[in-house]
Chains A and B, each alone.
Chain A
Amino acid sequence: MKLNGGQMICQALLNEGVDTIFGIPGGAIMPLYQMLPQFPGLRHILVRHEQGAAMAADGYGRVTGKVGVCFATSGPGATNLVTGLAGAMMDSVPMVAITGQVAREFIGTDAFQEADVTGVTLPVIKHNFLVTSAEELPQVLKEAFYLARTGRPGPVLVDVPKDVFVEEAEFDYPETVDLPGYPPKQEGDSEAIKRAADLIAKAKRPVLVAGHGIIIADAYKELQEFAEKGQFPVTTTLLGIGSFKSDHVLNIGLPGMHGSAYANHAINDSDLLIALGMRFDDRVTSKVSLFAPNAKIIHVDIDPAELGKNVRPTVPIVGDVKHVLNQLMPLVEKADRREWLSHIDELRRKHPLFFEDDDILRPQDVIQQISDSTDGKAIIATGVGQHQMWAAQLYKFKELNSFITSGGLGAMGFETPSAMGAQVGLPDRTVWTIAGDGGFQMTLMELATMVESQIPVKIALINNNSLGMVRQWQDIFYDHDYVATLYTANPDFVKLAEAYGMRGIRVTRKDEVGPAVEQAMEWNGPVLVDFRVEETENIYPFIPPGTGVGQMVEDPRLVQKRVK
């Protein structure tokens, strides 16, 4: 069958099970867009900025486990994707981006809207292709999707010159790929598994650290069974939050810089860390030499380069965490760890997550209310900053894989488009965006997309009229010297929402929080709730960078209470 390049791409997307594309057209990618009406199985969601397309594809990919797809035109269209692509790479999200490029004869001439997109994106994505003829397209697209979704998933970009979209060639979609340099390893080495089981048998104070790999490998059941069998307390990294239910008795919450004090103390006191599908990010370890000083470490990851990169494992295991857990499970004895678990309970009592419960509207009140009103069953998408950490600490996730956040890259502006992508991917779920007023204004143009494409995301704007996290660091490290962190001219966000044609609600008092959240959920469409929260609230606990658990700062109000 002869197809032109544009038709080939659409047909390949259908073959790969794609039903949704986020994008915005331009000159170079037009010939592809003009083919879309011939393929009614593909829903195109017109975003207002390419960054929104990439981040929506990211949110879609995270919640569905399918490959998120975005389109952008050449030059500025493609460069606008870069932040979204880099974030998907850091957080191992399956994504394919298709970008238009200037026609082949103009490549290298600094033509209108030309940019070296494969060069620009190369260091921040898993792989990319510059297509040089329509003939190549089927193989390239097959490989792009295979690379995006297998092994450690990540974004793959396919750059297609304008004239290749209209060139005709035979379309014969390949069944297999031939990538000898790319062999993802599934099973763990059996020797290493035995050594890991030995360490586990000897351990008195084990802690299991569950990361995003559990979610990617769909190993929720295995994780729970393994944790229950071995009676391991489980700490979930920021991206691992959806890997293990928040209300499980063995869940000890988030580790790291703003993690729960008891999780950090448990790691500090432990004699064995079982790290599953996580990468010992510096926000988890703080100063590596002070991290888990008495622990041996079993580190399981599908990416061999993560083993030994930041922290030295005692037993490194390369493999898919689901396979490795199944290999380990029969070798691990049922354990009685009452002593160790009661020690952790004691830590929990001594160092609880604390926030002031008074008449003032505080950011934490909003998150607690959303958690209660949704019964912990919503998908929560956040931006980056204080509100992100409060959401991670306080929302009680009763559903798996329901926390969408920019972890590795820490890209503000992620909240709105990623929520949009998640809602499109799972239309039956309630999706809340927990946004800060800083990050929200980086991608707020996507409100128009939500209204136009009827995407009923609920936005909780935690509005403290500042870049709260940076302001907090100025409090701590720069003697309250607020350089460029206070927003003195924020718009009226309720009017803004209304201008876009969506519902806007303002909340200034604590007793209004509950009704506003309920109203937002009853409204059949996107809603923005502007919560005017206490502006000076800081996030605790806090382990200052370059230090360890010994230097952890707990909420001064909690410390004062303890003294009393």
Chain B
Amino acid sequence: MTQNNGKMQQHTVVALVYDRPGVLNRVVSMVRRRAFNIGSLAVGHSETPGLSRMTFVVEGDDKVLEQVTKQLRKLVDVVRVSDLKGVNAVYRELSLVRVSANATTRSEIIQIVDIFRANIVDVGHDSLIIEVTGDEEKLESLVTLLSPFGVLEIMRSGRLAMVRGIQGDSGANGNSSDAEGTLTDDTQWVREDGDEAKATPLLPPG
């Protein structure tokens, strides 16, 4: 049991799934039925034809994270699941922001955009569309700086994650799932030797 157990945290989970009709429905239905909280979900084709990758941001404690990965693995259309906890990985999100801009504010906005290495992808009479990629913190900072000008619309892609080529101490393929994605005995939420049973949420009767 880690010290963080019991606290709400965000975890990133990446799943390789078959690119078939209804797969997204199966995944989302499982998440809904088991009452997991998902902060974001991004889906797209992978390097292998016929397979897609999904990146989940899961909210919950260690027990929730473990259940999410295990329940995902149970789905027949899910080929491999990696939980990126404690893994050195690149996290990116893309955001489109429409912001009010007139002749007097435009140059100031362009300066901010440059600092963030973002791009202006559309210019209108009274607004701009800004495209920015980065981690959530960067995206949120940009929006904070733009908000005095009037942020009209925000679109976010959801988080994408990829494990870095060089790791520190931990493994390169994500926690608790080997490279082949076979089922391993990865229950971390264990009763420790000599530890007393901890209270867990009670199931409702009936």
Interface residues, chain A, CB within 8 Å of chain B? 118-119, 122-123, 126-127, 130, 147, 179-185, 188-189, 192, 282, 287-289, 291-293, 296-297, 303-305, 307-318, 545-546
Contact = CB atoms under 8 A, between A and B. Distances in A.
Contact of B30 (A119, A123, A185, A312): A123
B202 A122 contact: no
B77 A181 contact: yes
B182 A183 contact: yes
A107 B110 CA distance: 51
A119 to B, nearest CB: 7
Contacts of B21: 130
Given A123-B33, A312-B189, A313-B190, A185 B74 contact: no
Given A122-B22, A123-B33, 6 more contacts: A288-B197, A304-B186, A310-B200, A312-B191, A314-B191, A316-B185
Contact of B198 (A289, A297, A309): A289
A312 B202 contact: no
Interface residues of B, number: 44
B203 A289 contact: no
A392 to B, nearest CB: 19
Interface of B: 17-18, 21-22, 25-26, 29-30, 33, 63, 66-67, 70-71, 73-80, 181-193, 196-200, 202-203, 205-206
Given A183-B183, A282-B203, A122 B76 contact: no
Given A130-B22, A181-B18, A293-B197, A304 B187 contact: yes
6 contacts: A130-B22, A189-B184, A296-B193, A304-B73, A315-B190, A546-B205
B186 A122 contact: no
A304 B191 contact: no
A185 B191 contact: no
Contact of A303 (B74, B182, B198): B74
The 9 closest A-B pairs by CB, nearest first: A545-B205, A289-B199, A316-B187, A305-B70, A282-B203, A308-B189, A181-B79, A312-B191, A307-B187
Nearest to A546: B202
Contacts of A289: 197-200
B191 A296 contact: yes
Contacts of A189: 184-185
Contacts of B63: 308
B185 A318 contact: yes
Interface of B is mostly: loop
A336 to B, nearest CB: 24
A176 B200 CA distance: 43
A35 to B, nearest CB: 27
Contacts of A305: 67, 70-71, 73-74
Interface of A is mostly: loop
Nearest to A319: B185
Contact of A297 (B17, B77, B78, B191): B191
Contact of B197 (A192, A291, A304, A545): A291
A180 B73 CA distance: 11
B139 to A, nearest CB: 33
A118 B22 contact: yes
Contacts of A282: 203, 205
Given A122-B25, A282-B203, A314 B197 contact: no
Contacts of B17: 181
Residue from A181, A288, A318 whose CB has the most chain B CB atoms within 10 Å: A181
A147 B76 CA distance: 9
Contacts of B73: 181, 304-305
Given A181-B18, A297-B191, A308-B190, A292 B197 contact: yes
Nearest to A288: B200
Nearest to B73: A304
Contacts of B189: 308, 312
Nearest to A185: B183
A200 to B, nearest CB: 14
Nearest to B189: A308
Nearest to B71: A305
A181 B75 contact: yes
A257 to B, nearest CB: 10
A540 B34 CA distance: 33
Contacts of B26: 122
Nearest to B63: A308
Contacts of A303: 74
B200 A304 contact: no
Nearest to A293: B197
B60 to A, nearest CB: 14
Contacts of A192: 185
Given A183-B182, A296-B193, A287 B202 contact: yes
Contacts of B199: 288-289
Nearest to A183: B182
A181 B76 contact: yes
A564 B128 CA distance: 89
